């Protein structure tokens, strides 16, 4: 996948100016703050708990996992990607020894190895490759929406495993991202290759269009969208023009903020709290922004990302950021520091798990999706998916609770 498989080629980037080649004041400050700090500031111990794979098809590019999402109860996980399947997993099936691993110590050599067939609670076959999944608020975890490569947004009833809503308003151009507002009435949003972001009302058949904006121009796909999960009016989007934008959903005319600092396509945007958002770009950087004044607070570097969608997720309770990498590793950053606090190689179990990145990685593989479970304060769960279709589940604990 040049982003989760192939087919999507980012627009040619403009030449970087001499000014852009120079370090910004922000980067210089972080460089000084971060000297000698790699892994030393980590408040967390992480361990690999479970590997979910399939011997029959492991390594096939057609199994790339493009998206992982926990449901609102944080007890069910759904995945989607190139294989044209939505797979649902209960937390219990993914973490059969959860209680023992939380209470005691855990190492990668003790990780549970499970086949997808045994771990998966249900499978829904879809007509196209999937780029995005999102649970619809207010549905009690029953309705899951997908955005696909054919430009269609579909809602599925997870009890009947059947589609109950379809929206095809992007002219057949790939939908990269879907999301829902957290207010009443609930609105849907879809970001597409056609260069538009569309808001629609899922209560109406076909989804009546509420608003449509074009942040840049038709040559620049809109790659990601997220409503403020804390109930604010801001809607954040990221584009192939190297910028992210903030819109006020009450008046979708022009952006109220522009986050300008990436040197290549902005692939993901996530709200960390009510005042900050994190963006990811194919310039190999994550950036933290103040939504009040569009100021870049911090840049995070360490992972490799120059062409693909590698996933971005934030754990809001612990203010941790997770992302994948094109060198087949999963990275965790603490909001406070620009360097990673933990790195795990996606190689064979026991071979690629360490703070140094490990070994045993397949050079052609990469980590393509990540998702935090949004519960707890002293313990956390991170799930990562690979371009080979393998899921890995990690548990984290604050070091302070292990002392004494």
At 68, list the tokens.
């992982």
Sheet of strand 340-345: strand arrangement: 312-315, 320-323, 329-334, 340-345
- Structural domain includes residue 79: no
Q: So what's the pLDDT on residue 238?
A: 98
Cα(310)–Cα(282) distance, rounded to whole angstroms? 9
Predicted pLDDT at 54: 81
Closest to 299 in 3D by CA, of 23, 41, 36: 23
Spatial distance between the Cα atoms of 333 and 329, rounded to a whole number of angstroms: 13
Q: How far apart are CA 374 and CA 306, in angstroms?
A: 28
Domain count, the chain: 1
Q: What is the CATH number of the domain that holds 232?
A: 2.130.10.10
pLDDT at 60: 52
Judge whether 296 lies within some domain.
yes
pTM of the complete model: 0.87
Burial (0-12, 13-18, 19+ Cβ within 10 Å), 84: middle
Q: Residue 310 and residue 330: Cα distance in Å, rounded?
A: 9
Lookup: tokens for 327:
């060198």
pLDDT value, residue 138: 93
In a domain, 167, yes or no: yes
Residue 131 and residue 66 in contact, taking contact as beta carbons nearer than 8 Å: yes
Binned average pLDDT, 10 residues per bin, the chain of 404 residues: 41 38 44 44 90 68 89 97 96 82 53 93 97 96 98 98 97 98 94 97 92 92 97 96 97 96 98 96 98 97 97 97 97 97 79 40 81 95 96 93 45
User: For residues 312 and 370, is the Cβ–Cβ distance under 8 A?
Assistant: yes
Say if 74 falls within a structural domain: no
Q: What angle do CA 241, 223, 237 make, to 5 degrees?
A: 80
320-323 and 112-115 beta bridge pairing: unpaired
Say if 17 falls within a structural domain.
no
User: How far is residue 69's CA from residue 357's CA, in Å, rounded to a whole number?
Assistant: 25
Residue 68 lies in a domain: no
184 domain residue, yes or no: yes
Q: Is residue 247 part of a domain?
A: yes
Q: Name the residue range of residue 164's domain.
A: 24-63+96-115+134-402
- C-alpha pair distances (Å), 61 with each of 114, 256, 393: 20, 40, 21
How far does the chain reach from its first CA to its final CA, in angstroms? 47
């Amino acid at each position: 996948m040049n982003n989760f498989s192939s087919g999507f080629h980012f627009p040619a980037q403009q030449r970087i100016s001499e000014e852009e080649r120079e370090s910004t004041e922000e980067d210089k400050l972080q460089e000084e703050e971060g000297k000698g700090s790699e892994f030393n500031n980590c408040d967390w111990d992480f361990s690999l708990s479970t590997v979910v794979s399939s011997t029959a098809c492991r390594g096939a590019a057609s199994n790339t996992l493009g998206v992982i999402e926990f449901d609102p109860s944080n007890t069910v996980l759904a995945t989607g990607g190139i294989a044209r399947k939505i797979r649902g997993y209960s937390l219990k099936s993914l973490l059969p020894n959860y209680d023992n691993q939380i209470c005691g110590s855990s190492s990668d050599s003790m990780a549970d190895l499970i086949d997808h067939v045994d771990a998966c609670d249900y499978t829904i076959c879809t007509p196209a490759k999937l780029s995005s999944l999102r649970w619809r608020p207010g549905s009690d975890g029953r309705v899951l929406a997908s955005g696909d490569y054919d430009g269609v947004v579909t809602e599925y009833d997870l009890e009947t495993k059947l589609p109950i809503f379809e929206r095809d308003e992007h002219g057949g151009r790939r939908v990269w991202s879907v999301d829902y507002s957290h207010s009443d009435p609930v609105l849907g949003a879809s970001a597409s290759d056609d260069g538009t972001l569309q808001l629609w009302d899922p209560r109406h058949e076909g989804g009546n269009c509420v608003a449509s904006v074009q942040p840049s121009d038709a040559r620049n796909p809109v790659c990601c969208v997220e409503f403020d999960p804390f109930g604010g009016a801001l809607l954040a989007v990221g584009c192939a023009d190297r910028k992210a934008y903030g819109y006020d959903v009450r008046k979708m005319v022009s952006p109220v903020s522009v986050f300008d600092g990436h040197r290549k396509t902005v692939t993901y945007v996530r709200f960390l709290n009510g005042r900050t958002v994190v963006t990811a770009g194919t310039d190999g950087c994550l950036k933290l922004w103040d939504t009040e004044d569009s100021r870049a607070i911090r840049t995070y570097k360490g992972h490799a990302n120059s062409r693909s969608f590698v996933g971005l997720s934030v754990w809001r309770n612990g203010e941790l950021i997770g992302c994948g990498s094109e060198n087949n590793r999963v990275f965790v950053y603490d909001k406070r520091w620009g360097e990673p606090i933990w790195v795990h190689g996606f190689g064979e179990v026991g071979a690629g798990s360490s703070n140094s990145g490990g070994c045993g990685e397949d050079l052609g593989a990469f980590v393509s999706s990540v998702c935090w479970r949004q519960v707890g304060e002293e313990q956390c769960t991170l799930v990562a998916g690979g371009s080979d279709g393998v899921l890995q589940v990690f548990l984290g604990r604050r070091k302070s609770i292990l002392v004494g």
